[in-house]
Amino acid sequence: MERDAAQQRALAPNDDWRPLIALLVTVVVLLAIHYLKFFVVFESLIQAWLGQEGYLELRRHQYFALFAELWWGLCHFFGYVVIPVLVIKYLFKERVRDYGVAWNQVGRYLPWCIVIALLVVSFAYFASYRSDFLNHYPFYSLAQRSVLDLLLWECIYIAQFVFLEFFFRGFLLHSCHRRFGATALFIMVVPYVMIHFSKPWLEASGALLFGLVLGIIALRSRSIWGGVLVHSSVALSMDVMALVQTGRLPSNWLP
């Protein structure tokens, strides 16, 4: 990996502004997502768009809470995908597929991804006995209402991990790798750990090692999809374990 990094650094011009631009974009995106993703922002926009009467009618919809989670997912899509894609295409003038979107050599590292996922899920199982874990997952408060609620929520949740992997292990990591080599892993992992500060402390602490390992896999496989598979399987398992531990796993298909 370091030999590849040395070759990348040799190709990088001395005035390579991509790392600086990527870091500035990271600051703006994380700030925007942090303040726009909340339910109160969603409510304010709905009231401005539909008026008070329309808002109250929508609020009575049985999936209103899920609409708010969809807003959360859309905020991540715009910040983690739309903005970086525009930067790559129109500022960097490069192909988006070169930022880890292609499958490339994921199959070669798939056994490692499975091992990592199993290890993390094992730790999550023991963490699922902690009250902070059970109070935190799943994010969607009505996930226990029906199987459909749970499935719809997991679609939003897993899509968010695709967006996240593209941003951190695709856009940010590859923007810095040519200039800084393996050090780009540590540049990437700092903001990645910071977005976990609101999570239970074991998860937030583990994000450092987890982020570095997924970054190494992304560089070696030249793809984000190994990280997507690991992240999605772990997240799904954590939600299910929290529901099982609290006796809230839904049995009816519809609300």
Mind listing the pLDDT tens digit for each residue in 21-75?
999 999 999 999 999 999 999 999 999 999 999 999 999 999 999 999 999 999 9
Tell me whether residue 251 is in a domain. Answer: no
Sorting pLDDT into bands at 50, 70 and 90, what band is 99? very high
Residue 254 inside a domain? The answer is no
Least confident of 5-9, 100-104, 182-186: 5-9
- Domain count for the chain: 1
Q: In this structure, is residue 253 part of a structural domain?
A: no
pTM above 0.75, yes or no: yes
Token duo for residue 15: 């005035």
Residue 228 lies in a domain: yes
In a domain, 189, yes or no: yes
206 part of a folded domain: yes
In a domain, 250, yes or no: no
Phi-psi label, residue 228: left if phi above 0, alpha if psi -120 to 50, beta otherwise: alpha
DSSP helix, strand, coil percent of the chain (3-state; round to 5)? 75, 0, 25
Q: Which domain holds residue 145?
A: 2-245
* Paired tokens of 27: 């600051």
